[in-house]
Amino acid sequence: MSAWSRWVALLDTREDGRALAVVRVLVGLSIVAAMLEVVLPGTLPMIWLDLADGGYRPLGRGSWLVQKLGGPSPTVVYGLTAVTSLAGASLAAGVASRLSAFIALQGFLGVAWMNGHTAGSYDFVATNALWLLVLAQSDATGSLTARLRTGTWLPAADVPAWPRWLMVVQLVTMYASTGLQKVSAHWVPGGDMAALYYIMQQPSWQRFDLSAAAWVFPLTQGATLGTWLWEVGSPTLLLAFWFRHTRTRGGWARHTLNRIDLRSWYAGAGVAMHAGIHILMDVGPFSYLTLALYPALFSPDEHRRWRLVGWGIPAVWAVLMVGGVLGG
């Protein structure tokens, strides 16, 4: 086969839609939770309304969608927040998933970037995930659409695999670029590795007083080094992912990485890291938005066989999501 033929054959790979369905549900509910984190504490008027309407600063004209709707008036802002939440719920339920993901994407962009002072990198995680779900056939199983079409919630349904693979690429791109940007002496090996300690002492990040971290400073140094190595080493995850997909081929590297299953170790460390970040620091919906993509690391067959994938990651995600909403 020519290189082009192999590429076409690769993109034509199909698989059961179970893994994509899990990601769809978690991402949809994460969008709802992200809206609730702003609405329930009553902070929406302060950060997403213009100074003239009770906000703390002038917001300008807003995104293209906000401009088309007439500007960042209370009616537009509250309406977009409600529509985005409903679209997230519809996406989680699996009702017109591609359309729901697109509406949630545009609504989230409209409100999350209403005020550049309150936007964060996690907003890109959310919008990139939503765009991938626009492209994916994620409601073929595990959805209300599947239930109405087949009479069962989890029918066997083959879907294109490449959207799930792109979700893995998204994770690796996010982690690797983040690690490569950590170039200060407080992060990289050879420096004092005090970055996490300093971060935990900043009131803007703390959930509670973390001055006691001074007593365990060497542990924070180890966590700093471990986080940096984990992020800059994330491209190896792509190699492990590819080796798992091509496990019938030979080679000692493929055999070794498949035997130890680097993906599982990497995912386990990531879950622990995000849980720690979420417990100690207020980083908005970042942790559970990111974990919503973790089920894409594993094939549908693995979701069926391995309960830690099918239930463990969603369980940790749910705890972090509920904690974020209630803690907000």
**9 within domain boundaries:** no
Average pLDDT taken over every residue of the chain: 92
First to last CA, the chain: 55
pLDDT in tens, 135-145: 999 999 999 99
**pTM for the model:** 0.94
Residue 327 has pLDDT above 80, yes or no: no
d(CA 245, CA 262): 13
d(CA 46, CA 223): 35
Asked if 263 contacts 241 with a C-beta cutoff of 8 angstroms, the reply is yes
Residue 65: the pLDDT is: 92
Q: Which of 114-128, 172-186, 230-244 has the lowest mean pLDDT?
A: 114-128
pLDDT in tens, 92-137: 999 999 999 999 999 999 999 899 888 888 899 999 999 999 999 9
Q: Which of 17-21, 146-150, 243-247, 308-312 has the lowest mean pLDDT?
A: 308-312
Exposed, middle or buried by CB within 10 Å (0-12, 13-18, 19+), for 312? middle
Q: Quick one: residue 284, left, alpha or beta (phi over 0 = left, psi -120 to 50 = alpha)? A: left
**7 within domain boundaries:** no
**188 within domain boundaries:** yes
Residues ≥6 apart with Cβ < 8 Å to 286:
120, 121, 122, 125, 274, 277
Return the bridge partners of 160, or none.
14
| pLDDT tier, 308 (very low <50, low <70, confident <90, very high otherwise) | low
**4 within domain boundaries:** no
**299 within domain boundaries:** yes
Most confident by average pLDDT, 89-93, 183-187, 283-287? 89-93
pLDDT in tens, 265-290: 999 999 999 999 999 998 889 999 99
d(CA 112, CA 109): 5
Total tally of structural domains belonging to the chain = 1
Please name the residue that has the structure tokens 């992200």: 34
**2 within domain boundaries:** no
- Residue 174 is part of which domain span? 14-327
DSSP line for 189-228: TTS---HHHHHHT-TTTBSS--GGGGGGHHHHHHHHHHHH
Residue 107: the pLDDT is: 97
**118 within domain boundaries:** yes
Q: Residue 43: what are its φ and ψ, rounded to 5°?
A: -90, -10
- Percent of residues in the chain assigned helix, strand, coil, to nearest 5: 70, 0, 30
**122 within domain boundaries:** yes
Q: Residue 70: what are its φ and ψ, rounded to 5°?
A: 110, 5
